[in-house]
Amino acid sequence: MLCFGALWLGLPSSASAEVHAKVGDADVAIGATSWFRYEANDNALDFDRAIPDAGEFTTYRIRVHLDADLGRGVRTFFEGQIFHVYGVDATQFGEGDSDTANLYQGYLEVSQLWGSPFRLRVGRQELAFGSEFLLGDNDFYGGQAFDAARLDWEGGWGSLSLFGAKLVEANTPASNDVDLYGLYGSFFQKAKIHVDVYAFYLDDRTDFVSAA
């Protein structure tokens, strides 16, 4: 039986706080964000009632971060995350509760590299470009971060980003890695016509090497 409709109900609640302090020559910010969301889904994946894709579940996410501006264009950022799903019943998370705690982001950033308009960021970080249709941070749930090196340039008529990244995969052998390389340019941002140009290369070796 086909049903030409779908029901999705989400009731979010969020909070955030941040404090700033001067530690020596560094400007330091310590903060936290949290949200709680209840969801009920019916026909979540298609319009066929014969397929069991209805269910309800609750998620919450807590992030705590330390952001330190060390001066001379040098910045460090660390962010831990707890993401919990419970009451799961045939959702995209699978069956049963799940709970994860990890270092979500941790990177070193150098701006105005050698007095140039380039910025270098190395470490675990989010990668989000454009509308995030192709590459984003999946912020609606537990997020998505990459172990990456990223070089950015910004000028009066646009910006250009070059990166090499590895998708964060816990307990995955090194020979089973998935690597992503990309070049993303965004031009004429203040004009009536906005142009994005990009190229991505995905090196996925998981189909060819068995996990030990």
Is the confidence at residue 11, as pLDDT, over 60?
no
CA distances from 117 to 62, 110, 153, 156 (A): 34, 11, 6, 11
Cβ atoms of residues 74 and 107 within 8 Å: no
Strand partners, 146: 125, 167
Tell me the longest C-alpha to C-alpha distance in the chain.
68
Nearest Cα to 144, choosing from 159, 164, 166?
Answer: 166
Could you give the CA distance from residue 84 to residue 98 in angstroms, rounded to a whole number? 6
Nearest Cα to 55, choosing from 70, 40, 35, 66?
Answer: 40
Concatenating the DSSP letter of every residue in 57-71 gives EEEEEEEEEEEEEEE
Average pLDDT over residues 5-18: 65
- For residues 140 and 111, the model is more confident at 111
Could you give the CA distance from residue 65 to residue 106 in angstroms, rounded to a whole number? 9
Considering the chain, what is the average pLDDT of its residues?
82
Q: For the segment 128-162, what is each residue's pLDDT rounded down to a tens digit?
A: 998 898 899 988 888 989 999 999 999 888 899 99
Q: What is the pTM of this model?
A: 0.80
Could you give the CA distance from residue 79 to residue 170 in angstroms, rounded to a whole number? 17
Q: For the segment 166-197, what is each residue's pLDDT rounded down to a tens digit?
A: 875 545 555 677 889 999 999 987 777 889 99
Average pLDDT over residues 81-102: 70
